[in-house]
Amino acid sequence: MNNQHWDFSHRIHLQLITLFTSGLCAVLGCNYEEVSKESERVTPVKNSAESPPAKGFGGTSQTLCRLFWQDGNKGTICAADLCSTEDGFVTKQMPVEGLKIMDIKQNSFVQMKIVDTSLIVGVRDNLNGKQRSGWLVIDTGVEEESHGDHSHWHYNKLPKLLSEHLDTNQGNPAHVYRYGQQIYIAQDKNNGFTVVNSDKGRTSSSFFQGGGGHITIAALKGQIAYASWIDRAGENAGRIDVVDLRSNEGKPKYSFKLPTGGIHGATACGNRVFFAPSEGIDWVDCDFEFQKSNDNVVLHHLSLGDEENRGYRTGSFESFANHVICIANCKGCPPALCVIDGTTPSPKVSRLVCRDIEEGQRLSRLRAVTVSGKPYGLAFAESEEFPDKLLVFALDENGDRKFDDLKFVKSIDVGNSKVEGHSGHHGIDFVPDQNIAVITNPGDGTLQILDMNQWEITKTVQVHGKPTRIVAQGGMQ
């Protein structure tokens, strides 16, 4: 009897340990295939903000949004609900069901975008697409209940992997864009791109030829796309392919060339398309009727520099309402914040030289946001030698909507970046309908909550790993 009683008690004890371990992994939120590896375990911190609040902790808890961020150390996508309690912000982390750990020696995540209820994540490999590259489709688990002038958001479902498109035929994507309700995945080695549509969680995709080398894309109204070639010399230098997205041909209607090559950015604003070649910005009016050709496309050029330094260039854009925003750099000169009204008859560059950073710091991850009716630009100043900062700029100080009175507002201390090649930069996204932003600090393994009313960090959450790109979905529960 004593042996039977001991055996029964021992089995109960083992089952309780198993249940506790499973629950702990679910709370931590990142996805593990081999939890026995010490290097992949995360030790919970007592009273840490990363644990969900227990009953009675700070009273009621209200979910504000669901966060997804890339962990560059563990090769996974982490998820958490950001909640507001009487004691402040907390994150309730959760796994992404069905998501496998990625081998970070072979692959890396690139950009990711949310459309409808789907999160599209680009995946690149280290062998020019000859290993496994492509993209993932993740159901965010967030449901919107629309009531006309407002919505209620529900977070009852866990996020889960819906499909993965990873093989040797996906062209090693580097850029993922969202224009309207469509996602555009640039497949560099295939000299083309895939357009992904999502409708109530069901996705479909179509491939189009256009662009090459290191493709950037601008698309308008789901009708037309402009895809660039990265070449600096040769027959494809400065080449732009113009693609009819409504056609079944899948080939460019025509191509034209910019005066210089090395194109590393493209965006659409109004009915115009803007490109970032090796110097300044080139732009064209959108040709919805496909009536132009290389012989009669009218090109316009804008310098990002001044009379003394005309060598300023940019590598990416942020489209914000009627404006195109970018950070311009020039060797030996401080960077400049540049803003262009994309809808005025004769676009001009409004420019602010960023002198409020240390020599050697570079600006990254430019974003624009409206706070209490006023537009602001945000950019991170990063380097190994100096503490990282988040710089805040007012884009329309006098409120006349011209965006020609740019002003530096504040420098905010943030955690550390961990830049390695193109990865390891800070990430930032905005909590819908709240004047709150969430920042990732890859060098610290933390998230930080930014109060944009006061432009102050109000909470630091330890999530471990190397959090980089981040997106938010949903709204107040």
- Residue 83 CA, chain-centre distance (Å), reads 22
Q: Which of 333, 317, 323 is nearest to 366 (CA)?
A: 317
Q: What pLDDT is recorded for position 22?
A: 42
448-460: burial string, b at 16+ Cβ within 10 Å, e else:
bbbebeebebebe
Higher-confidence residue of 146 and 25: namely: 146
**Quick one: tokens of 75?**
């090769």
State the pTM of this model: 0.87
Q: What are the distances in angstroms from CA 151 to CA 157, 242, 369, 432? A: 18, 38, 21, 12
Percent of the chain with pLDDT over 70: 88
Nearest CA to 266 out of 221, 223, 314, 336 is that of 314
Instruction: Give the pLDDT score at 59.
Output: 56
Cα 70 from Cα 76, distance rounded (Å): 6
Q: Quote the DSSP letter at residue 296.
A: T
Lowest mean pLDDT among 18-27, 130-139, 453-462: 18-27
* Tokens found for residue 185: 């995945």
Q: What pLDDT was estimated at residue 41?
A: 32
pLDDT band, residue 345 (cuts 50/70/90) = very high
Please answer whether residues 440 and 364 qualify as being in contact, where contact means their C-beta atoms are separated by less than 8 angstroms: no
Q: How many CA atoms lie within 13 A of 365 on its CB side?
A: 26
* CA 64/CA 476 separation, integer angstroms: 4
The pLDDT confidence band at residue 308, using thresholds 50, 70 and 90, is confident
Classify the C-alpha dihedral 304-379-221-193 as positive or negative.
positive
What mean pLDDT, rounded, does the chain reach?
Answer: 88
Instruction: Categorize the per-residue pLDDT at 87 as very low, low, confident or very high, splitting at 50, 70 and 90.
Output: confident
Residue 380, C-beta contacts closer than 8 angstroms, at least 6 positions apart: 363, 364, 365, 388, 389, 390, 391, 414, 417, 425, 426, 428
**Residue-level pLDDT at 7:** 46
Q: Tell me, what's the pLDDT at 51?
A: 37
Residues constituting the chain: 477
Which of these, 266, 210, 218, lies nearest to 236 by C-alpha position?
210
Contacts of 178 (CB under 8 A, 6+ apart): 113, 114, 115, 184
Strand partners, 420: 423
Q: Distances from the Cα of 211 to the Cαs of 110, 123, 242, in angstroms?
A: 18, 19, 9
Give the closest residue to 356 by CA, choosing from 391, 306, 399.
391
| Mean pLDDT in residue range 385-410 | 95
For residue 101, give the DSSP letter: P
pLDDT over threshold 80, residue 83: yes
Distance CA 236, CA 461 (A): 47
Q: How many CB atoms lie within 10 A of CB 170?
A: 23
**Residue-level pLDDT at 37:** 35
Angstrom distance (rounded) from CA 444 to CA 442:
6
- Indicate whether 469 pLDDT > 50: yes
Q: In this structure, are strands 266-269 and 272-275 parallel, antiparallel, or unpaired?
A: antiparallel
Dihedral angle over CA of 244, 343, 436, 460, nearest 10: 70
Model confidence pLDDT, tens digit, residues 181-235: 999 999 999 999 999 999 877 899 999 999 999 999 999 999 999 999 999 999 9
- For residue 49, pLDDT over 50 is answered with no
Q: Positive or negative CA dihedral for 123, 377, 222, 67?
A: positive
In this model, does residue 302 exceed pLDDT 70?
yes
In contact, 431 and 82? CB cutoff 8 Å? yes
Whole-number CA gyration radius for the chain: 24
In this predicted structure, what is the pLDDT of residue 106?
Answer: 95
